[in-house]
Amino acid sequence: DQPGSTDGTLKVGMVFDVGGKGDKSFNDSAYRGLLHAADQFGVEHTEFEPGQDADRETGLRKLAQARYDVVIGVGFLFSDAMRKVAADYPDVKFACIDFDPRPGETLPDNLAGLRFREEEGSFLVGVIAGFFSETGRIGFIGGMDIPLIHKFEAGYIAGAKYANPAVSVTVAYTGTTPQAFADPAKGKELALLQYRRGVDVIYHAAGSTGNGVIEAAREVDRQAIGVDSNQNYMAPGNVLTSMVKRVDNAVLMTVRSVVEGNFHGGLREFGLADDGVGYAVDEYNEDLLTDEMLAFVEDARQAIIEGTVSVPKE
């Protein structure tokens, strides 16, 4: 029997990252996972977005005190709070997306740190961008200028050079505050500027700021690459592909493991090998991607999985 569940239904709490529900990107991916879980296992769930940093810890604690069975924090900013709260509530299962471990840290049995090799997925969309670009100039627009986003940038650049060593990459960041993940107006301007300078593909890793990037692509009829969720539908024909980070799968998997009683703590990394990251092909972009291109990308993917190509993180 699960602790705390009075009528036997599992209670899952989810706490979002900056940008919040509806960002069509990172948070939405996590939320989709939660909804799937609710569908499949009939769990009861609540979710919210903390107002200030201290609320992260307080919020997790409140969920634990309210006898939630699983508490999921979306984003690495929850790492510290998760450590503390997990230690205080050994009966509650915690999962942290993008958990940021200290070197050599081992996690308690009730805390799962779920990490993604974003650089690998970014590498593949970089390959596509490098392959696709006619001008030989591609762009990257990051949200907040922080190490996590540098991973996306590094993988993307490496992938592009892998496809076309002569390609040049223009890099820009929206800002240095969390607001940088939620400023589509600025995202659009940054993108327009890059397009005007001859860039023809831009990969964004900028939350809802990226909506502006995609909007710019639509407006000037160039290409954008979405991130985290599959964003191809947002401007059919102008979103070359999306680097999908399967946060939804990770969430679903976590809930399933609790339901099935085989949840265990510790770090877990999702990469290309286990479909934790990837690129999206669907009806909105299949016309943009040639078979030759796809074959090339698939080769790259295999090479990464087999370890013959190594992807930089910084």
Partner 1 sequence: MFELAVLDSALRMATPLILASLGGLFSERSGVVNIALEGILLTGAFASIVATYYTGNPWAGVFAGVFAGVLISLIHAIVSIVFKADQIVSGVAINLLAMGLTQFLTWIVWGSSANSPSVQGMAHWSLPEIWGPVARGVNVVISHYPPLVYVALILVAVSHVVLFRTPFGLRLRATGEHPEAVDTLGVSVHAMRFAGVLLSGAFAGLGGAFLALNTHQFVKNMSAGRGFIALAAMIFGKWSPGGALAACLLFGYAEAVQMGFQGQAVPTQFVQMIPYVLTMVALVGVIGRARPPAAIGKPY
Partner 2 sequence: MSRFARLSQLLSPLVAVAASFLVGGLVVVAIGENPFHIYAILFRGAFGSVDAIGLVLFNAVPLIFTGLAVAFAFRAGLFNIGGEGQLYIGAFVCTLAGLAFGGLPALVLIPLLILASAAGGALWAAVPGFLKARFGVHEVINTIMMNFIAVGLTSYFVINMLREPGQMTPQTSEIAFAGHLPRLADSLSLIGIPLPQANPLNFSLVLALGAVLLAWYILYRTTLGYEIRAVGMNAKAAEYAGINVRRTLVMAMVLSGAFAGLVATNEIMGFRHRFLDNFSSGLGFMGIAVALLGKNTPLGVLLAALLFAVLNTGALEIDIFTDVPRELILVLQAVTIILVVVGNEVFARRVAAREGRAAGVPLPVTEASGETK
183 is a contact residue toward partner 1 (CB under 8 A): yes
Instruction: Select from partner 2, partner 1, none the partner in contact with residue 197, using the beta carbon and a kind-dependent cut-off of 5 to 8 Å.
Output: partner 1
Q: Decide whether 98 or 248 has the Cβ nearer to partner 2.
A: 98
How many Å apart are CA 191 and CA 229, to the nearest integer? 19
Q: Decide whether 66 or 185 has the Cβ nearer to partner 1.
A: 185
The token pair that represents 172 in the structure block: 């820009």
How many Å apart are CA 117 and CA 22, to the nearest integer? 24
Please give the helix or strand (H or E) that residue 167 lies within, else none: none
120 is a contact residue toward partner 1 (CB under 8 A): no
185 Cβ neighbours under 8 A, 6+ residues apart:
212
Shortest reach from residue 162's CB to partner 1, in Å: 20
Burial per residue of 40-58, b for 16 or more beta-carbon CB atoms within 10 angstroms, e otherwise: ebebebebebbeeeeebbe
∠ CA(149), CA(190), CA(207), 5° rounding? Answer: 40
Q: Rule CB under 8 A: which of 133-162 touch partner 1? A: 145
Q: Rule CB under 8 A: which of 33-62 touch partner 1? A: 49
Which part of the chain contacts partner 1 (CB under 8 A), choosing from 59-67, 70-78, 170-178, 298-306? 170-178
Please identify which residue in 43, 192, 304, 311 interacts with partner 1, judged by CB under 8 A.
192
Beta-strand runs (E) in the chain? 11-15, 44-48, 70-74, 93-97, 111-116, 137-144, 168-175, 201-205, 223-228, 239-245, 266-270, 277-279
44 is a contact residue toward partner 2 (CB under 8 A): no
Beta-strand runs (E) in 83-212? 93-97, 111-116, 137-144, 168-175, 201-205
Please identify which residue in 40, 177, 290, 302 interacts with partner 2, judged by CB under 8 A.
177
Q: In one letter, which amino acid is 135?
A: T
178 is a contact residue toward partner 2 (CB under 8 A): yes
How many Å apart are CA 185 and CA 210, to the nearest integer? 9
DSSP-derived letter for residue 254 is: H
Using DSSP, how many helices (H) and how many strands (E) does the chain show? 9, 12
196 is a contact residue toward partner 1 (CB under 8 A): yes
Please identify which residue in 184, 271, 276, 278 interacts with partner 1, judged by CB under 8 A.
184
Q: Rule CB under 8 A: which of 131-150 touch partner 2? A: 145-148
234 is a contact residue toward partner 1 (CB under 8 A): yes
Q: Decide whether 66 or 295 has the Cβ nearer to partner 2.
A: 66
Shortest reach from residue 130's CB to partner 2, in Å: 26
Shortest reach from residue 259's CB to partner 2, in Å: 22
Instruction: Select from partner 2, partner 1, none the partner in contact with residue 183, using the beta carbon and a kind-dependent cut-off of 5 to 8 Å.
Output: partner 1
Residues that bind partner 2 (CB under 8 A): 13, 46, 48-55, 57-59, 61-63, 66, 76-77, 79-80, 84, 88, 98, 100, 102-103, 145-148, 176-178
Residues that bind partner 1 (CB under 8 A): 19-24, 49, 145, 170-173, 175-176, 179, 182-190, 192-193, 196-197, 208, 211-212, 215, 219, 234
